[in-house]
Amino acid sequence: NAALNPTTSDPPIPVADHRALAQAQNLFITSPYSPGSPLLQPNGAHIFQKLQSFLRAQYPQFGFQEVITPTIYKKSLWQVSGHWDEYAEHMFSVTGRGATGQTSNAEAGQDEEFGLKPMNCPGHCLLFDSTVRSYRDLPIRYADFSALHRNEVSGSLSGLTRVRRFHQDDAHIFCRPDQIQEEIMQTLKFVGMVYDTFNLGPYKLLLSTRPEHHFIGTISEWETAENQLKSALNASGREWSLNAGDGAFYGPKIDIILKDSTGKEHQTATIQLDFQLPQRFNLQYQASPEELETQETAEKDGRNKGVDEGNLRPVIIHRAIYGSLERFMALLIEHYAGSYPFWISPRQAVILALNQTPDVLAHVDKVQKLLSLGAPPLVDGKEVAREKTTPLSLDTIALNIDADTSARPLGKKIKEAREKGYNFIIVVGKEEVERDGVRIQAGSQDAETLFSVFSDTGSEVEVGMGGKK
Amino acid sequence: NAALNPTTSDPPIPVADHRALAQAQNLFITSPYSPGSPLLQPNGAHIFQKLQSFLRAQYPQFGFQEVITPTIYKKSLWQVSGHWDEYAEHMFSVTGRGATGQTSNAEAGQDEEFGLKPMNCPGHCLLFDSTVRSYRDLPIRYADFSALHRNEVSGSLSGLTRVRRFHQDDAHIFCRPDQIQEEIMQTLKFVGMVYDTFNLGPYKLLLSTRPEHHFIGTISEWETAENQLKSALNASGREWSLNAGDGAFYGPKIDIILKDSTGKEHQTATIQLDFQLPQRFNLQYQASPEELETQETAEKDGRNKGVDEGNLRPVIIHRAIYGSLERFMALLIEHYAGSYPFWISPRQAVILALNQTPDVLAHVDKVQKLLSLGAPPLVDGKEVAREKTTPLSLDTIALNIDADTSARPLGKKIKEAREKGYNFIIVVGKEEVERDGVRIQAGSQDAETLFSVFSDTGSEVEVGMGGKK
Ligand SMILES: [Zn+2]
Ligand SMILES: [Zn+2]
C-alpha cells in the first residue's frame, strides 16, 4: 500500500539465512551460557566496528555528540521514566550479591534494586537536566552506542535478529517545538545517505499520527508537530504514506521500512517524537522572548504544566538509523551474501604462497605487512623496519590481510579463498620474489588498483571509504 | 624500594583533584540513580574515545583482534570460572522480571540467574573453545573494551577512580608455554609506547612469583614461566624488582605502577599469567610433534591432566595497558591539569566574534565548518557547499571547534577561553572578513601551524597524532 523509495535498481536477493553465512565466515557464535547475546568473533567485530565508525564519521556534520552512559540504574529512575511498570516483562533486574551495598541507615533508594537498561533515553534526560539550558543551546543531540538488554522468551531467540542484548545507533534530540521540522528533515537525509551507501532499499516512509482517544498534550500541540513532520516528509522528495491514528500516545512517529526482493519487510530506522518523557523528567529550557509571547496561555495546562517562570519544555526525538546494529548486520550479511564491499570486508585479501622456500615465505611476510599497515617509515630516504615503539596515528586504517603458506596445491587454495569471499587473491612465487611484486589472481576485485602498492610512486592503495590512500 | 623507569624528565604535578577539573570542563556527571557509574558528557566521551581509538590503531601491529562479548552470563558459567563463589561479594546478579523466561520444561540452566560480568576472561575462553585450535594458530590475542561491573560499597565510590562500572582495554593472549617470553616482551614494549605517548611516568616493574604453599601446576612449570618473564624483563632494558612469593596461586604476574611527583602510586597496567582458567575451561590445542616429544610425562599430572591425545593446554595471559579507562582518564585529567594535547583535547579551538555584524557571523560560521570538517569538496575546481548526502570517509577526524558570538567584550571572551583550556583561540572581526583569514590570539598553542588553514595551498592543518593533514 505504501509507496517505495528506490535507493537501488538492484534489490537484494537473500540467498541464504544470515546464520548459515555467518558460520561459514566466522562472524559470531552463540552460547547456552548467554542465550540471545551473540559473541562476535574477530570477523564479526570487524564489520560491527566499521558500521560504528562509519556513523561516527558522519556525526559531526549532523551535529551529534556522543555520550557514554550507565548500564544499570536504580528502580526509582525507571519509575520516573515509566519503564518499571509499563516495560516490566522486558526488563532484567540487577542486585548486588554481596552484603557490601547494604547499610543500616541507607538513604532512600540507596540499596534498592537496579534495572538493566533496555533504552538510553532516561540516562540522556539526566545529562540534559544536569545544567541550565537556554533556547540558544538547542537542539542538543546525544548519540550513544551502549549495549541494551531486553528480555525475550528463550525459545524465540535466533542469530543476530532475535536477541536479548544488542546495540543501537541510538540518539536523542532535545529541541524546541519550532525546530522539529528541520531536525526531521536532517534525519531523513541521514537515513537516505546511509541506505545509499549500503545500496539498500527500496524503503517505505510511514507517518503515524495522534491516536483518537488516549494521548497526552493538547490537540493543537499535536497538529503543529504533525504538520512539521508532513512538511519534512514533503521536503525529502520521497514518497510517504499516512497511518492515521497509529502513533504512540506520547507522540507521532515516522517508521522507515526496508523491503527486500522476496517482499520481506525489515523495520530499521525510526524517528519517534516524545512529548511525555520531558514531562516525566521535568525538563525545561529558558525560552526566548518571542516564544513566551506567542505561546498560548492554554498550553500551560498542557505539556508545559509545572515549568518554572520563563521556561518551556523541550521535545525529545528518539531516532536510530541502523536501528539495532546486530539486526542491521544480519541484513547486510544476507544482502551481500558473503561478498562485502572492500571497506567493511573482514577478508580484504589473502596472499597465497606458491611454495615453501624461504625466499617466497619472506616475500609473503613482507607483502602482508606492507598491505596491512602501509609502507614502513622512511629515515633519510631509506625504509627502516617498523619499530613498535612508534605509535600509529588515529586515522590509520589497517587492512585485514591473511596469508596461506600451507603446502597444498595452488588450485585448492584459490578455490578455498573464493569460497571464503576474499576481495583480493594475491599469489607469490619465485617470479614475484625476483621482480619484487605480486600477482593478482583474475576474478578478485579491482585488481589493477591493488597492484599499484608496488608502483614506483610508493605505497598507494585506493580502496574507497576510509581505506588506504 | 623498586627502581623507577623514567619516561619523562618532567614528572606530573597534580594541581587539583580530577573531580574538580572534570566539573569545570564538563567531562562527566554522577547520579544517585546509578552510583559508581559516571555519565560521560560529550567532552568526557571525546577523551574516552581518543584513548580507545589510539589503542585500536596500535592493535594490528601487536596482533590483537577485537571481539564483542555478552554483558550477562548464566550462573553456571561463573561456576566453571570460579567467580560465582570466589568473587561473590563483587558480583551483581541479574534476573528477568517478566514471566517470559520461565517454561515448565526448562532445560538445565535455562532459567537460572545471570551474573553481570566483572571480567571478560570467561567469554574469551568460550570464543577460544568454539573451534579446534592447532599449535600453528597460537598465539590468539582477543581484545575487548566491554563495560564491566564490580560491586563496591556505596560510601567508597568517587569520581572516575572508585566506580562500579568501568571499561578496561582488556585482552587475553592464548599461547603455547614456549611463547610466553615473546608475548611478555611485546606487552612491555606496548606499555612503554603508551606511557611515552602521554608523557607519563616514571614507573615501576614488579615481578611476583610462585607463592610457597598454595599454587596449581608443577614447580617446573612455574620455573619455566618465571624464567621467561625474567628474560623478557631483562630484554626490556628497564629496571625491575622481584616480589618473591607474591604471585597469585594460578600464575606469576608483572605489575606496572606509575608514580607521580607527589609520590602517589597508580596501579595501571597488569600482565597476569594464568595456568588455572585453561584447566577450568578444559582448553586445548593440537600440539606440535616437537612439543609432544619434549613434554615431560610428569606434566600429564599437572596442568595438562585430562587433555585429549596429542593435545596440550594453552597458557592465558591477562593484560591491560591503561587498566581501567576511567581511572586512566582521571590520571590524565590531573596530569595535564586541563591543558590537553591537541589530539585528545575536547576543546581544540574556539572562534571569538569581535562583533555581531552579519559579515562577521558568516565568516565565523565558515571558519568553524572549515576547521571542524575540512575544506568543502571541489567540483570542477570550485568549492561547493558540503552536501550531507555525501558520506565522509572513516578516517575523517573531525575537530572540536566552538564559537563564541556573544555580545561581550573580547577581553572577557579571551579570559574565559583561556580558563576553559582551549588549545587555540581564534579571533574574527571586520579585518579578518576582508582578507578572508583569521587572527590567532597570542598565547594559544602553535599558532603558525593552524594559520596555514588559510594558505593558498588549500586546507592544511598539522595537528599531530591523527589530526587533519
Ligand atoms: Zn529513546
Ligand atoms: Zn582476564
What's the confidence (pLDDT) of residue A434?
87
CB < 8 Å to B127, chain A: 29, 39, 41
- Contact residues on chain B for A343, CB-CB shorter than 8 A: 394
Averaged pLDDT of chain A: 85
pLDDT of B299 reads 55
C-alpha cell at B408: 561581550
Does the pLDDT of residue B2 top 80, yes or no? no
Question: Which pLDDT tens digit goes with each residue over B260-288?
Answer: 767 788 888 899 999 999 999 999 999 99
User: Predicted ipTM?
Assistant: 0.90
Name chain B contacts of A186, Cβ cutoff 8 Å.
388
Alpha carbon distance B153, B90 (integer Å): 9
Instruction: Please report the pLDDT score of residue B100 as a whole number.
Output: 47
Average pLDDT of B390-402? 83
pLDDT for A292:
87
Q: What is the mean predicted confidence (pLDDT) over A254-265?
A: 84
Given a contact cutoff of 8 angstroms between Cβ atoms, the answer to whether A32 and B109 are in contact is yes
Examine the pLDDT at A52 and tell me if it is beyond 90.
yes
DSSP state of B141: E
**Closest of A245, A199, A221 to residue A299, by C-alpha:** A221
Please compute Rg for chain B using Cα positions: 27
**Residue A338, pLDDT score:** 81
**Cα A216 to Cα A245, A318, B173, B253, distances in angstroms:** 14, 17, 55, 60
CA–centroid distance, B41 to ligand 1, in Å, is 17
Of the partner residues B29, B77, B193, the one whose CB lies closest to the CB of residue A389? B193
| Phi (first) and psi of residue A131, to 5 degrees | -155, 170
| Higher per-residue confidence, B100 vs A222 | A222
Has residue A375 got a pLDDT over 70? no
Note the pLDDT of residue A110: 54
Q: Which residues of B touch A77 (CB under 8 A)?
A: 33-34
Is there a contact between B142 and A42 if contact means CB atoms under 8 Å apart?
Answer: yes
Secondary structure of residue A92 in the 3-state scheme: strand
Which neighbouring-strand residues pair with A266? Answer: A258
pLDDT of residue A383: 60
In this predicted structure, the answer to whether residue B109 has a pLDDT above a threshold of 60 is no
pLDDT at site A389 = 66
What's the pLDDT score for residue B292? 87
Structure confidence by residue, pLDDT tens digits, A286-309: 999 998 887 754 455 578 888 999
Stated pTM of the model: 0.91
What's the confidence (pLDDT) of residue B376? 63
What is the average per-residue pLDDT within A368-382? 72
pLDDT at A218 over 80: yes
Confidence category of residue B315, pLDDT binned at 50, 70, 90? very high
Going by the DSSP 8-state scheme, the letter that residue B157 receives in this structure is -
pLDDT at A14 over 70: no
Q: Do A391 and B192 touch (CB under 8 A)?
A: no
Tell which wins on pLDDT, B196 or B121.
Answer: B121
What are the grid coordinates assigned to B22, written together? 572534570
* B189: closest CA of chain A, how far (Å): 7
Q: Amino acid identity, residue A210?
A: R
pLDDT tens, A72-85?
A: 999 999 999 999 99
Bridge-based pairing of strands B285-286 and B311-312 is antiparallel
Segment A398-411 mean pLDDT? 92
Q: Is 80 exceeded by the pLDDT of residue B446?
A: no
pLDDT-derived band of residue B378, with 50, 70 and 90 as boundaries?
low
Encode B153-170: b = buried (16+ Cβ within 10 Å), e = exposed.
bbeebebbbbbbbbbbbb
- Tell me which chain A residue has its CA closest to the CA of residue B125: A39
Contact A45 B67 (CB under 8 A): yes
Backbone angles phi, psi at A449, to 5 degrees: -60, -50
Q: Ligand 2 centroid to B375 CA: how many Å?
A: 45
CA distance A162 to A116: 18
The answer to whether the Cα torsion of B35, B37, B40, B41 is positive or negative is: negative
| Ligand 2 centroid, distance to B247 Cα (angstroms) | 15
Q: Quick one: cell of A310? A: 520563563
Summarize pLDDT for B250-261 with one digit per residue, the tens.
999 999 998 876
CB contact under 8 A, B149 and A54: no
Question: What was the pLDDT predicted at A183?
Answer: 96
- A26, A27, A34: best mutation site toward chain B, by most B Cβ within 10 Å? A34
- pLDDT confidence tier of residue A19, bands split at 50, 70 and 90: very high
Distance (Å) from CA B354 to ligand 2 centroid: 55
Q: What is the pLDDT of residue B298?
A: 46
Contacts of B150 (CB under 8 A, 6+ apart): B90, B91, B118, B164, B166
- Picking from B49, B92, B388, the nearest residue to A66 by CB comes out as B49
Q: What is the pLDDT of residues B222-237, one digit of tens each?
A: 999 999 999 999 999 8
Q: Which of A112, A114, A71, A118 is nearest to A90 (CA)?
A: A118
Q: Which residues pair with A242 in a beta bridge?
A: A207
pLDDT at A16 over 80: no
Whole-number average pLDDT of chain B: 85
Q: Which residues surround ligand 1, an ion (CB under 5 A)?
A: A 121, 318
pLDDT of residue A311: 95
Cis amide bond preceding A38, omega within 30: no
- Which three-class secondary structure state does DSSP give residue A89? helix
> What pLDDT shows up at residue B4?
64
Instruction: Name, in order, each residue with C-beta under 8 angstroms of B1's C-beta and a sequence gap of 6 or more.
Output: B241
Answer yes or no: do B29 and A127 touch at CB < 8 A.
yes
Nearest to B109 among A32, A48, A110 (CB): A32
> Percent of chain A at pLDDT above 70?
83
In the block, residue with C-alpha cell 558540503: B386
How far, in Å, CA of B161 to CA of B165, rounded?
A: 10
Q: In the predicted model, is pLDDT for residue A2 greater than 90? A: no
- Contacts B70 to A, Cβ<8 Å: 31, 34, 37-39, 165
Cis peptide bond N-terminal to B202, omega within 30: yes
CA distances from B285 to A438, B175, B312 (A): 34, 10, 6
Residues of A in contact with B77 (CB under 8 A): 33-34
Confidence of residue B447 (pLDDT cuts 50, 70, 90): very low
Confidence of residue B69 (pLDDT cuts 50, 70, 90): very high
Q: What is the DSSP string of A297-312?
A: GGGGGTTTTTPPTTEE
**pLDDT tens by residue, A86-116:** 888 899 999 998 754 445 555 444 568 999 9
Q: What is the pLDDT of residue A369?
A: 86
Expressed in angstroms, the distance from the first to the final Cα of chain A is 46
- For residue B5, the CA-to-ligand 2 centroid distance in Å is 26
Supply the pLDDT for residue B120. 97
Q: Which residue has the cell 548467554?
A: A34
pLDDT at B453 over 50: no
Residue A261: pLDDT band with limits 50, 70, 90: low
Distance in Å, CA A216 to ligand 1 centroid? 18
The alpha carbon of residue B62 is apart from the nearest alpha carbon of chain A, in Å, by 8
